[in-house]
């Protein structure tokens, strides 16, 4: 909380510099000038909004519970959006001597400085050894493995898996767990075992077939560990927005799931976001688009665009646009290459890609490493064939390989980027790609679209997993 307060005060103080640049005043003079009705009203209003923001973070558990980074960042953005709306309402509806430029620049800076301050505080606490919290995972099967992977993927949570306890009837040799932590039997007295380990944070991650046999264990841990973390062995359900229903006097927990993209409201919001963002990107990137088109045309005199028929929403087909990155006789050259190098046929069948593809032109290699060949698909988005974020558009020959998740694919528009692209891209298998696409569709939120777009920029700049 102290880090948040300091970050917000720093944003407000630095936001004062906007006056210096806008009114051509000395920055030193502007920062020192804090009297007068203008400054007083701005200070009082900001302190009120800051108090509301800190209170909102406290209510959401930011200072009492540990949360995954992107979920916490989404809540921060939501709170700041409401505060900015309240700020704008007061600034534009009243006749108070408010500096709108000062206050709006303050919130922009706060959106940057507050996450940085939180990261710095967590980092300092980790270095001091007071942030990491020992965790014991109870389980030994697939559910425990998934729980360990999830905890390891969020190092800033501060949960360190120190031991895996296997309950009775659980065979540790049945599967490899993704951890170097030692494993031991939970024993006949689980509470004594946990007390010997210093009463660490407990994550109960039993598989489905173990819940009935371990009912006594579940009850004893639930009574003795009020902050017990339970990982239910549920797969294939939409997780985001799942609501828990409780019944007075009954030990019954019902989970009500929501498939966001199956409802008209989220679909409309996603489409409006696509139109706005794609239009802005076309305008901003127009010099780059024209330059790439000129380079392709100059290299071999062929067409600038490669139009390939892909399967879209509802199973219909559309012409997917790309900057042409291959030679004119690409298919013939591929057949000749695979015939001469049969050992590479398996690599091609894995994801229909080759690491050293002989069909790619010189400019094409540059475009593919930076995924710039995908930029013309912005026009597919504006035309209504695609979305900015979604599953990659499938070829007709890939439909059978997509498995049972094909029904989910037909529900949405394919995307220029997606969860697959920010999770390894060409380094992942086709089955993993289908799984990631299904997870995205079932758990869609507009915030996750923004997160994937931000991660796409990072992946493209680092040129990770593309060839």
Distance CA 438, CA 459 (A): 21
Grouping H, G, I as helix, E, B as strand and the rest as coil, residue 436 is: helix
- CATH ID of 133-235, from 3.40.50, 3.20.20, 1.20.1550, 3.30.750: 3.40.50
Distance CA 314, CA 312 (A): 6
First to last CA, the chain: 44
Distance CA 404, CA 401 (A): 9
Q: Quick check: 463 pLDDT over 60?
A: yes
Query: Which residue would you say has higher pLDDT here, 338 or 408?
Result: 408
* CB-CB contact of 398 with 405 (8 Å): no
Grouping H, G, I as helix, E, B as strand and the rest as coil, residue 428 is: coil
Distance CA 330, CA 308 (A): 13
Q: What is the pLDDT of residues 382-430, one digit of tens each?
A: 999 999 999 989 988 888 888 888 888 889 999 999 998 888 666 667 7
Q: Are strands 305-311 and 317-323 parallel, antiparallel or unpaired?
A: antiparallel
Q: Quick check: 156 pLDDT over 80?
A: yes
DSSP 320: E
Query: Tokens at residue 182, please?
Result: 């030692």
- Find how far residue 228's CA is from the centre of its chain: 26
Q: What is the pLDDT of residue 216?
A: 79
DSSP 393: P
Q: What is the pLDDT of residue 389?
A: 95
Grouping H, G, I as helix, E, B as strand and the rest as coil, residue 312 is: coil
Distance CA 215, CA 217 (A): 5
φ and ψ at 160, to 5 degrees?
-110, 115
Q: What is the pLDDT of residue 62?
A: 92
Q: In whole numbers, what is the pLDDT of the chain averaged over residues?
A: 82
Query: Which residue would you say has higher pLDDT here, 156 or 284?
Result: 284
Helices of type H across 130-263 = 142-152, 190-196, 215-224
Cα dihedral value 307, 309, 312, 314, nearest 10: 150
Q: What is the pLDDT of residue 426?
A: 60
Strands (E), 71-157: 133-138
Q: What is the pLDDT of residues 25-75, one digit of tens each?
A: 565 555 555 545 556 677 788 889 999 999 999 999 999 888 888 889 889
Domain boundaries, the chain: 1-128, 133-235, 264-325+360-462, 328-358
Q: What is the mean pLDDT of residues 305-325?
A: 91
- Name residue, tokens 């509802």: 314
Query: Tokens at residue 358, please?
Result: 């002989």
Nearest to 282 by CA among 369, 391, 385, 380: 380
Distance CA 158, CA 396 (A): 45
Q: What is the pLDDT of residues 231-287, one digit of tens each?
A: 888 877 777 777 888 888 887 888 888 778 888 888 999 999 999 999 999 999 999
Predicted TM-score (pTM) of the model is 0.77
Q: What is the pLDDT of residue 50?
A: 93
The Cβ-side half-sphere exposure at 279, using a 13 Å CA radius, reads 7
* CB-CB contact of 140 with 178 (8 Å): no
* CB-CB contact of 3 with 118 (8 Å): yes
Enumerate residues 6+ apart whose C-beta is below 8 A from 301.
none
């Amino acid at each position: 909380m102290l880090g948040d307060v300091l970050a917000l005060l720093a944003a407000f103080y630095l936001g004062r510099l906007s006056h210096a640049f806008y009114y051509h005043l000395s920055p030193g003079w502007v920062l020192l000038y804090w009297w007068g009705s203008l400054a007083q009203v701005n200070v009082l209003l900001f302190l009120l909004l800051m108090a509301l923001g800190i209170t909102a973070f406290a209510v959401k558990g930011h200072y009492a519970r540990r949360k995954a980074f992107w979920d916490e960042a989404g809540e921060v953005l939501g709170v700041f959006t409401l505060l900015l709306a309240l700020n704008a309402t007061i600034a534009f509806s009243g006749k108070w001597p408010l500096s709108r430029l000062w206050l709006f620049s303050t919130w922009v800076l706060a959106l940057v400085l507050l996450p940085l301050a939180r990261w710095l505080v967590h980092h300092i606490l980790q270095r001091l050894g007071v942030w990491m919290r020992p965790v014991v995972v109870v389980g030994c099967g697939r559910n425990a493995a998934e729980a360990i992977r999830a905890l390891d993927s969020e190092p800033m949570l501060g949960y360190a898996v120190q031991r895996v306890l296997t309950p009775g009837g659980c065979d540790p040799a049945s599967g490899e767990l993704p951890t170097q932590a030692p494993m031991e039997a939970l024993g006949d007295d689980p509470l004594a075992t946990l007390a010997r380990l210093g009463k660490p944070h407990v994550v109960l991650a039993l598989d489905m077939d173990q819940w009935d046999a371990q009912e006594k264990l579940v009850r004893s841990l639930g009574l003795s560990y009020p902050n017990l973390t339970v990982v239910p062995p549920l797969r294939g359900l939409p997780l985001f927005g799942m609501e828990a229903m409780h019944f007075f006097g009954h030990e019954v927990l019902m989970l009500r799931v929501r498939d966001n993209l199956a409802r008209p409201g989220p679909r409309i919001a996603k489409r409006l976001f696509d139109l706005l963002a794609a239009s802005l990107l076309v305008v901003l990137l127009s010099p780059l688009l024209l330059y790439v088109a000129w380079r392709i045309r100059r290299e071999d005199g062929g067409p600038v665009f490669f139009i390939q028929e892909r399967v879209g929403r509802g199973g219909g087909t559309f012409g997917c646009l790309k900057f042409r990155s291959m030679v004119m006789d690409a298919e013939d050259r591929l057949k000749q290459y695979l015939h001469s190098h049969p050992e590479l046929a398996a690599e091609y069948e894995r994801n229909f890609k080759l690491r050293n593809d002989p069909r790619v032109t010189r400019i094409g290699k540059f475009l593919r490493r930076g995924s710039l060949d995908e930029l013309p698909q912005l026009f597919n988005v504006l035309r209504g064939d695609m979305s900015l974020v979604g599953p990659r558009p499938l070829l007709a020959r890939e439909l059978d390989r997509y498995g049972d998740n094909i029904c989910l694919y037909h529900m949405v528009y394919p995307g220029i980027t997606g969860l697959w692209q920010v999770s390894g891209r060409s380094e992942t298998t086709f089955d993993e790609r289908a799984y990631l696409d299904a997870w995205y569709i079932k758990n869609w939120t507009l915030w996750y679209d923004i997160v994937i777009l931000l991660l796409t920029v990072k992946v493209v700049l680092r040129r990770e997993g593309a060839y």
